Structure 1
Amino acid sequence: MLTEILVVFTGGTIGSRRSGAVVDVDGGAGFELLERYRALAGPLSEAVRFETVQPMMLLSENMTPGHWLGLVRCLRERLGAEPGRFAGAVVAHGSDTLPYTAAMLGYALADVRLPVVLIAANRPLDDPLSNGVRNFAAAVDFILDAALPGVYVVFENDRGEMPVMLGTRLTEARPFDDQFVPTYGAPLGHMRDGRFVPCGHAVNPPVAALRAPRGPALPPEGIGFATDILYIRPYPGLDYGLYDFERLPRRPSAVLHGLYHSATACSARAGAYASSLPAFAARCAALGIDVYIAPAKAEDTARYRSAHEIAAADGVRALARIAPEAALVKLMAAYGTWPGRDPEAVREREKFLARNVFFEHHEGGDW
C-alpha cells in the first residue's frame, strides 16, 4: 500500500531557476524536485505517492501575512478533507523568511496530528551544490520514520548533517554562510540513514510530549496576523526620538524590542531619554502602545542590573525563553486574532502569549 504525502510548493530558491545573474521562481521547478527525488531515492521512492498543490509562487522575502493565511487554509483543507489519507505534509519554502513561516504554522496548526515539515534550499536545484533534494528526501524520511505530529524544519548544514528543528525554535539563517542554527545550538534531532535520531539536550521536549494531543491554539476560522507590530533591535546610539508616534496617523498596537545576547539593552536614564528603553516604554504606555522584550531571561535566573531595570520598568512585558522570530510571529497572531482593547480580547491575547503552544518556550535551559 502506498503512503501518501502532501507536497505544498510556495516558491523560494527551491522553486527557482537561474537565468544569467538572476534567480527567480519558476512554476515548473517544484515538480522537478519530485523527479530528482525519485532519481536519488531509487526503489525506496516507489512506496510513496505525492499529492501536490501550489497555492502561491514567490520568493519568500515577498511573503506577507495574507500569504500565511492562504497557506494555513490550504494545509487545513487538504489534510482535513480526508482524515487518515496523508502521512504528513512537506512545505517547500524560501530560506529568507523560513523561521517566520515555520513559527506561524507551529501556532496555527498546533492541533494537527500529522508531521508538517518545511524545507528550503541553499541554491536552485540545477546547481550541483544545492541541498534541496537531500532536504526533501530527509523530510520524507522523517515523516515515514518518526511520524511525529507538529511543525518541523529540515535543512542540511555545511557539515553534511541533517538536523531536524522545531518550527518554533528556528532563527534566521546567518549571513555569509547561510546556515540555520537552532536555539541553544541543539536541534530536536538528526536524520541519519533514513532514521530520526533524537538529540538528548535538556531544552528539547521528549518524544512523548511531541506525540501528546494538543487543542487548537488559534481559532481556525478566526485566525489573523496583525501588521501593526513594530520590531526594534538594540544597538549603541539607538535614538528612540526617531519613533515619533505622536505625529503618526497610524500607531503600532505593540512594539517587540529585541535584546542583546545577554538579555540586555540600554537602561541608562541620566539625561539620556534618547537611548533609554525604560523611558521609551513609558512613553509608549502613555500612548496605549504595548511594549514587549524578547528573548528575556526567566525571573528566577541571574540577570544583569540593566535587565532588572528594564523588566521592572512601567509598560515593559517580558517574553521569556523564546526566539525573537517566534516572539514576533506570536505577537502578530495574538493582536491579529484578538485585536483592540476590549477586556475579553486583552484576556485572550495574554492567555495565548503565556501559553507554550508548540514548545516555543525553552524549558530546562539556563535562560
Structure 2
Amino acid sequence: MIGVIFTGGTIGSSISDGYISTDPEMRYMLLKMYKESCGYDDFVTDAPCTILSENINCSDFVIIAKAVHKMMLGNVEGIILTHGSDTIQYTASFLSCIEEFTHIPVMVVCSNYVLTDNRANGLRNFSVAVDFIRNKCGNGVFVPYTGRDGITKIYYGNNLLRHHIYSDEIYTVNDCYYGDYAEGGFSPSGQANPCKNELFPVPAGHGIYSDVLILYPYPGMKYPDIKEYKAVILCTFHSGTICTASEKLKEFMQNAVRYNIPVYLVGNGDGTDYESCRLYDGLGIKILKNITETTAYTELILQIN
C-alpha cells in the first residue's frame, strides 16, 4: 500500500474563468488516470491542506510534515506528496531535514500544467514515483520530474535550486540527480549527493514562523534593517562572490554583530576563491558549504523554532 497526500498545486488544479485554481476533484482524477494507465490502485489518501504552492508558508511545512509522519505510522511502503512546482524545493528541503523521513521513500510530485492539458507531466511524474516505491529503489525524500527532453529524473530532495524565472525545469547543484527512467525502468546515476543537511524530529508545535531573511545579490545592492530577523542567508553570484566592497554590506554586518544575528553565506563552493572572498571572515559572515539556499533556509527555521 502506498500513501498519497494531496496538498493542491497545479497537479491538483483546474482552469476556471481563464485562471488556474485548486480543485478537490482533480486529486481523484489523478488516481483515476493512473489506475487506467497502470492498473494499480492500492492507495490510502489524505489531504491536510489545499493550496497553490506560491501561497505556502512555514506553518504549512509543519502541517505537511505531520501528515507524512502520521501516514508513516500506517505501515505504508512509501509516500507520495502532490505539490505545486513553485515552492517544491522548499517543501522537499524541509522534509529532507526530518530524521524520520530518511527511512522510507517520500516522493514529492508536481506537474508543469494542469492534468487535463496534454503537455502536463504530472501523471508521468506520479507514475514514476509509484514505480520507485514499489521497486524499493531508495529511501529518503526525492522529487521525480520529467524535463523537456522527456527523461524523468529522480532528484535528491535537499539538492534542488530555485526555478529560473519563465522556466519549470528542475535545477540542482552540479546537475546532480539520484537516477532516471530514461530506459524505461529505474537506473541509478551513481552520483553521490553533494549537499548535506542536519536532521531534526518532526516539529511538535502547531505553528512555525520564518524569522530568516534570504538575500540575493545584484549591482548596487541595498540591505534592510536586520533587527527584524533571527538569521540571514546571503546568496552569492555563481562564482561564490558578493560585493564585499559595499559600504552598505559593511554597515549591515556591523549591525549583525551588534544585535548578535548570525549571517550565513551560501554558494561559495570548493575551488579557488576570488579576491573579494577574503573579507567574508573579517566581516563576520559564516560560510555554509555543500548546501542550497532552500535547505539552509528550512534548516534554520527548524533550528530557530
Do the two structures share a fold, i.e. TM-score over 0.5? yes
TM-score (norm 1): 0.78
Code of the residue aligned with 1:334 in structure 2: it is Q
| Cα distance change, pair 143–150 in 1 and its aligned pair in 2 (3 A) | same
Distance 2:105 2:56 in 1: 23
Aligned match of 1:141: 131
After TM superposition, give the deviation of residue 109 of structure 1 in Å: 4.2
After TM superposition, give the deviation of residue 149 of structure 1 in Å: 1.3
Aligned match of 1:323: 292
Question: Does 2:11 correspond to 1:14?
Answer: yes
Distance 1:229 1:221 in 2: 17
The one-character-per-residue Cα deviations of 1:192-248 (angstroms, maximum 9, x if unpaired) are 45522111336569xxxxxxxxxx9213354674411111111000123xx2346xx
- Counterpart among 153, 161, 186 of residue 151 in structure 2: 161
2:123 partner SS: helix
Code of the residue aligned with 2:290 in structure 1: it is R
Task: Say whether the 8 Å CA contact 1:95–1:121 is kept in structure 2.
Answer: yes
| Cα distance change, pair 110–316 in 1 and its aligned pair in 2 (3 A) | farther
Aligned match of 2:55: 62
Task: Name the stretch that deviates more: 29-38 or 219-228.
Answer: 219-228
- Listed as ranges, the matches of 1:1-367 within 5 Å are 4-41=1-38, 45-46=39-40, 48-80=41-73, 82=74, 85-192=75-182, 194-201=184-191, 203=193, 217-220=199-202, 222=204, 225-240=208-223, 243-245=224-226, 251-268=228-245, 272-274=246-248, 277-298=249-270, 301-310=271-280, 312-336=281-305
| Cα distance change, pair 173–77 in 1 and its aligned pair in 2 (3 A) | same
Code of the residue aligned with 1:103 in structure 2: it is S
Task: Say whether the 8 Å CA contact 1:11–1:56 is kept in structure 2.
Answer: yes
Unaligned runs of 5+ in 2: none
Distance 2:226 2:232 in 1: 11
Task: Say whether the 8 Å CA contact 2:156–2:193 is kept in structure 1.
Answer: no
Task: Say whether the 8 Å CA contact 1:146–1:195 is kept in structure 2.
Answer: no
2:162 partner SS: coil
Instruction: Kindly name which structure, 1 or 2, has the bigger radius of gyration based on alpha carbons.
Output: 1
Task: Say whether the 8 Å CA contact 2:194–2:290 is kept in structure 1.
Answer: no
The one-character-per-residue Cα deviations of 1:104-162 (angstroms, maximum 9, x if unpaired) are 00012455421000010000001111111111001111111244110000110000000
Task: Say whether the 8 Å CA contact 2:59–2:209 is kept in structure 1.
Answer: no
Query: How much is the aligned-residue C-alpha RMSD, in angstroms?
Result: 2.0
The one-character-per-residue Cα deviations of 1:42-77 (angstroms, maximum 9, x if unpaired) are xxx34x501111111110111111111111111111
Percent identity at matched positions? Answer: 29
Unaligned runs of 5+ in 1: 206-215, 337-367
| Cα distance change, pair 203–34 in 1 and its aligned pair in 2 (3 A) | closer
TM-score (norm 2): 0.93
Distance 1:232 1:200 in 2: 33
Distance 2:34 2:189 in 1: 27
After TM superposition, give the deviation of residue 297 of structure 1 in Å: 2.5
| Cα distance change, pair 290–221 in 1 and its aligned pair in 2 (3 A) | closer
Task: Name the stretch that deviates more: 96-105 or 327-336.
Answer: 327-336
Distance 2:102 2:29 in 1: 28
Distance 2:82 2:153 in 1: 16
Task: Say whether the 8 Å CA contact 1:9–1:52 is kept in structure 2.
Answer: yes
After TM superposition, give the deviation of residue 325 of structure 1 in Å: 1.3
Task: Name the stretch that deviates more: 110-119 or 165-174.
Answer: 110-119
Task: Say whether the 8 Å CA contact 1:232–1:257 is kept in structure 2.
Answer: yes
Distance 1:111 1:130 in 2: 28
Task: Say whether the 8 Å CA contact 1:103–1:329 is kept in structure 2.
Answer: yes
The one-character-per-residue Cα deviations of 1:308-332 (angstroms, maximum 9, x if unpaired) are 212x224211111211111111111
How many residues are aligned here? 302
